Amino acid sequence: MKIMTTLIAFVVVLGFLVFVHEFGHFLIAKWVGVKVYVFSIGFGSRLFGFKRGDTDYRVSAIPLGGYVKMAGENPTEPLKGSPDEFASRSIKERLAIIVAGPFMNLIWAVLFIIMVFYFGIEQPTFLKQQARIGWIQPNSIAEQAGLQAGDIIVSLGQQTITRWEQALKFIDTTSVKDLTITVRRQDREIQVQLKLDKKKLSQDGGTLGFFPPLPPVVGELRKGWPAEKAGIQPGDKIIALNGETIHDWYELTHVIHNSPGVPVELQVERKGEKLSFTLTPRKDEADGKGYIGMLPFQQTEKVKYGLGESVKQSLVFNWRMTRLTLGYLWKVITGQQSGKSIGGPIAIAQFAGQAARTGLTELIRLMGFLSLQLGLLNLLPIPVLDGGNVLLLAIEGVSGRPISLKKREIIQMIGLAILLAIMAYAIFNDISRFFSP
């Protein structure tokens, strides 16, 4: 049953995202007068479909993408010079056809997340609570500025803060280099100055180094990971790590992250009984940190937003995800970060299955996230991707003439090789994670 749910969710999620992407190309092609021969969900042999007008609408055998075949699109085929051929249209019209696919994915990313906020999203209850700092990361910007656990955030810059939701939103959207924070410590207010150095922020994982209170209580365990294998159970309260008292979940994870491959001893409290477990954090090849497969228990509440606020929240969410995605890709390209966390179809299937079992809202949220990724990645300037075709059009626009067939074929072959290498790497990562101990 679990496998069937995963397969169905994978086909539905990927199929819909491919459909809206290809429909974008198709819609603009028809709008500007380009003849479309094939609209296909999937690659390879035709499974079923129907023909209407000049277009064969089909579902094909390999469900890992799709395509729209237009008249005059393939430079190796003879052109008639007909106005309904892709090559006969102006650069602006061809550009519109190319970018329409990823643009549709970006639109649906926003629409999906609007649905999530409008129908209700589970949010931690601490977001509505007073912004009391629960833990300060050692050697972070916050610690260097003098902030302490227990401080209550009164204001960030010129904005008054009454709850964590406001504080986190401000931090996520601010672009200032120096930030003045006013906190209440015991019975007096103190101002501290935070220097938002980009290099230091990157070293600290993009955080300022202060976190809301999060009790060290186990919520979920990943099957087959060190914590589950050692015998830790949901509901266990972590009271000590290597003999040192633990007060907060973030304090626990900080030590675990810095102990990859090093045995640690956890002391927990379970129904009034104290138990000890020895386990070794698994090193993640992507970031080099240690993980034991535990998630914290958090009290949540379902929060529904009005339509206007849902739109606003969706735009903020997608902008944040865009920054994170592009930032990660840049770090991978420049060698600042490993690409081990890049996932392929197996990872998508696993996430889709898990989301489907969790509920419709979680599945819609995943579809929004993946739609954004598909839109952004297709805009990368890699030949055979939409972004690569945009680059070729830009060269044509600057030079005043199309790139020669021979050069175009070489460029396309290079692009295809790059794309296949990326896909092979992603699938290798999927398989490695699947069979990892």
Among all residues, which ones are annotated catalytic? 22
Closest CA to 63 of 19, 107, 97, 101: 19
Reported as type and span, the H/E element at residue 364 is helix 360-378
Is 292:229 a contact under the CB 8 Å cutoff?
Answer: no
Q: How far is CA 323 from CA 75, 168, 206, 364, 378, in A?
A: 36, 16, 12, 21, 16
Tokens of 138: 């050692």
d(CA 154, CA 167): 9
- What are the start-end ranges of the E strands in 145-199? 152-156, 159-160, 178-185, 188-195
Q: How many helices (DSSP H) and strands (DSSP E) are in the chain?
A: 12, 18
| Other CB atoms within 10 A of residue 73 CB | 19
Q: How far is CA 307 from CA 116, 217, 273, 364, in A?
A: 11, 35, 49, 17
Q: How far is CA 113 from CA 63, 122, 286, in A?
A: 25, 13, 28
Tokens of 155: 């204001």
Tokens of 141: 């910007």
